[in-house]
Amino acid sequence: MRVLLVEDEKKVASFIKKGLEEHGYAVDLASDGKIGLAMALDQLHDLVILDINLPEIDGLSVLRQIRDKQVVTPVLLLTIRATIEDKVIGLDTGADDYLSKPFSFEELLARVRALLRRRSDSKTPLLKVADLSLDPAARQVFRDGNRIELTSKEFAILEYFMRNAGRVLTRSMIINHAWDYDYEAETNMVDVYINYLRKKMDAAYQPKLLHTIRGTGYVMREEE
Ligand code: CA
């Protein structure tokens, strides 16, 4: 899961970024509204955490503009002691939830999980390819009835493949999805993780589901 964090206060930003990364999320940081808007419009993220008080363009204007462009990525607004009025405006503008500063990291994490769960519930409750199934809400993977234990990075990559079954994913697409912008894109890291994944969910099973497309990337599908 990849999160866009739009927050100009360095301390708050690094507190959120570090915490989410420890929980397996890839986090991109935008330090003003203008950069945040441009990054949100790229639609590479599963969730946007958006501060209201921002330089360049304020958070509510960013939100209004991304909703005007039909971007449906869930948005969690960060506010300072929001009045009822602020909250109503935020929700009317298209925010999915809001959190008043100061907040505890646990509270933020609970909101993030709830928003991502709501999103995955409304799309596909359970992802399936052959006898492989992945439950995005419970964060569980089964192959032929066996529970497969994955690290959060492996889980993120597998979920991306399963949501795009049959589609060839290049190494840079995988990096863009599972790592953040700061990550020096060493494409061989993708190969390393694909190997980990194969050992866990493909090696002992038939048919093989994760295939190499030489010179391009990888694809998940039942046929060779
Ligand atoms: Ca701020």
Rounded to the nearest whole angstrom, what is the distance from the C-alpha of residue 111 to the centroid of ligand 1?
A: 19
Please check whether residue 137 is in contact with residue 114, taking contact to mean a CB–CB distance below 8 angstroms: no
> Ligand 1 centroid vs 60 CA: distance in angstroms?
12
Higher per-residue confidence, 152 vs 143: 143
Amino acid 122: pLDDT? 55
More confident residue, 214 or 93: 214
C-alpha–C-alpha distance, residues 101 and 86, integer Å: 13
Residue 126 burial by Cβ neighbours in a 10 Å radius (0-12, 13-18, 19+) = middle
Calculate mean pLDDT across residues 3-7. 96
Alpha carbon of 179 to ligand 1 centroid (Å): 25
- Residue 140 Cα to ligand 1 middle (Å): 36
Contact 35, 57 (CB under 8 A): no
Is the pTM higher than 0.75? The answer reads: no
